[in-house]
């Protein structure tokens, strides 16, 4: 049956139900597009035959191939769109700089899309809240205090806070830092919020 490769692409994404981004299956897409090309050419020649020689019994076959073409198109569109939704989620979870490992999973066009999305989001955030803009990726949970106790989970090097002090983030060191500086790092798993 046709469209087996296309459904495999969909299954690949469905397997990662939590929103992780698998590597871009360039080969898979290429195979689906080749199948579509073959179906289209067969249909073109059959349509010509049906029109010139009046062979109407070919019409169910033409319709059949047309359904397969439409199905392949649907699978590819859904595959690409779902990947974009995952990439969009990455901006909100990881921040504007993605780890290289994830970047390798994206194709060039997806990277371009991510950059454009970052820009749109930044422009929007700047337009809110008066002069300095408003970072809406912060304070995802309502804050209870200005400063929080954090523990470092891995070495992250030096970290500068608003008044100029430089903090060395070494594994297992604990610090009392302003909440808005730490939120990103906590989300990325570098720091751990300590509640007593």
Partner 1 sequence: METQSYMPVPPGVGMEENFLSLDDILLSHERLPCRTESAFPRLGFLEKSSDNRDIPEGTKMEMPLWLAKGLYERTRRVLSVELPKVYREGWRTVFSADPTVVDLHKMGPYYYGLGSQLLHFHNPENAEIAQTVLQTFIGRFRRTMDSAQNAYNEDTSALVEPLDSLERVLFKVGQNGLNAFQRWEMGRASHLTASSLVVNYRKRKITDLQA
Chain residues that interact with partner 1, rule: CB under 8 A:
1-2, 7, 10-11, 13-14, 18-20, 46, 57-58, 60-61, 63-64, 66-68, 70-71, 74-75, 77-78, 81-82, 85-86, 88-90, 92-94, 101-102, 140-144, 148, 182-183, 186-189, 192-193, 195
CB 99, CB 107: distance < 8 Å:
no
Q: How far is the CB of 16 from partner 1 (least distance, A)?
A: 9
Closer residue to partner 1, CB minimum distance, 130 or 142: 142
The answer to whether residues 50 and 58 touch, using CB atoms and an 8 Å cutoff, is yes
Q: Which of 149, 139, 150 is nearest to 180 (CA)?
A: 139
Question: Toward partner 1, which CB reaches closer, 93 or 155?
Answer: 93
Cα-based distances in Å from 154 to 8, 21, 158, 180:
38, 24, 12, 20
Which is closer to partner 1, CB of 31 or CB of 164? Answer: 31
Nearest to partner 1 of 42, 123 (CB atom): 42
Q: Which among 92, 19, 137, 112 has a CA at the least distance from the CA of 103?
A: 112
Burial (0-12, 13-18, 19+ Cβ within 10 Å), 9:
buried
Which of 61, 131 has the CB closer to partner 1? 61
């Amino acid at each position: 049956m046709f469209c087996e490769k296309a459904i495999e692409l969909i299954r690949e994404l469905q397997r990662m139900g939590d929103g992780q981004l698998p590597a871009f299956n360039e080969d898979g897409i290429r195979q689906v597009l080749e199948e579509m090309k073959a179906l289209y050419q067969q249909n073109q020649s059959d349509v010509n035959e049906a029109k010139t020689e009046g062979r109407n019994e070919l019409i169910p076959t033409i319709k059949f191939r047309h359904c397969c073409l439409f199905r392949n198109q649907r699978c590819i569109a859904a595959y690409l769109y779902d990947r974009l939704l995952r990439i969009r989620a990455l901006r909100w979870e990881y921040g504007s700089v993605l780890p290289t490992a994830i970047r390798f999973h994206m194709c060039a066009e997806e990277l371009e899309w991510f950059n454009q999305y970052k820009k749109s989001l930044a422009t929007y955030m700047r337009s809110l809240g008066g002069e300095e803009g408003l970072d809406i990726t912060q304070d995802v949970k309502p804050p209870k205090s200005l400063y929080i106790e954090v523990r470092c989970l891995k070495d992250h090097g030096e970290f500068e806070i608003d008044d100029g002090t430089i903090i060395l983030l070494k594994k297992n060191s604990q610090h009392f830092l302003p909440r808005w500086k730490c939120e990103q790092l906590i989300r990325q798993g570098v720091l751990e919020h300590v509640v007593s």
